Amino acid sequence: MNGNAAQQLDGDLQPGEGTSQYLTFRLGDEDYGVDILKVQEIKGWTEVTPMPNTPEAILGVINLRGSVVPVVDLRRHFGLAEVPRGPTTVIIVVRADDGKGSVRTIGVVVDSVSEVYNIPVSEVQPPPPAADGVCNAIAGLVTVDEEMIILLDIDNLMVNGVLGRLDEDPGEEPEQCAHNGESHEDQ
């Protein structure tokens, strides 16, 4: 995904009218985007302290300049195959609003970060119903450079999707959220 996308930023960091800026990253062959306003920082892979009795997708906690921050493995959360962490593996630190007045700082492990795009809101397509099953985690789809980018709703993904699972029995990894697309028709 290099170079000539129409919306790619060339030092012009001001998003235009009706556009949003998205940071894109890769998980295997899939491209994802998060609203850049939700991103606090990007940090290299660092050893994580595992926490007991938490879902598989939560790798543990790291020290982020004195704060204890949980780290989520998006591959595991989405049920993708595991890959060894390489030199491009990074932790995107996001600030997720739980809708109840508190903002949580959470680290998200991804294979690599790609670009920052200015994406006109009008070009964002609604997510297909089947994909929307991932706990309303998908805000929409957009095509840049002939490639599809899945735009994530990080608040929903983190607060309802990842942290929400903690209320369930940690003994069994619930999968219904990621795979119940067919039963999910109310949105």
Partner 1 sequence: MSMDLSEFLDVFLEECFEGLEVMESGLLNLDEGTDLEEINTIFRAAHSMKGGSAAFGFNHISEFTHVMETLLDQLRSGKRGVDRASVDLLLASVDVLRAMVEGLKSDERPDEEVVSDLTRRLQATIEALPDQAEEEAAGEKARPEETGAKNEEADSAESEAGEESGPPPADPPQAQDAPPSKPRLVKSSGARESSSIRVSIEKVDLLINLVGELVITQSMLNQVGEAILQRGGPEAESLLNGLAQLERNTRELQENVLQIRMLPISFAFNRFPRLVRDLSNKMGKKVELVLTGEQTEVDKTVLEKIGDPLVHLVRNALDHGLETPEARTAAGKPEKGRIELGAQHESGNIVIRISDDGAGLDREKILKKAVEKGLVNGREELSDERIDNLIFQPGFSTADRVSDLSGRGVGMDVVKRNINDLGGTVAIQSEPGKGSTVTIRLPLTLAILDGQLANVGEEIYILPLISIVESLQVRTGNLKSVAGAAELYRFRDEYIPIIRLNRLFGIRGGTDDLEKGLLVVVEAEGQHVGLFVDGLLGQQQVVIKSLETNFRQLQGLSGATILGDGRVALILDVPGLVRLFHETMNRPAAIAAVS
**Footprint of partner 1 (CB under 8 A):** 47, 49-54, 60-63, 65-70, 104-106, 163, 166, 169, 171-172
Minimum distance between the CB of residue 30 and partner 1, rounded to whole angstroms?
26
Vertex 162: Cα angle to 160 and 167 (nearest 5): 75
> Rounded distance, CA 79 to CA 56, Å?
10
Minimum distance between the CB of residue 42 and partner 1, rounded to whole angstroms?
17
Minimum distance between the CB of residue 28 and partner 1, rounded to whole angstroms?
26
Minimum distance between the CB of residue 43 and partner 1, rounded to whole angstroms?
13
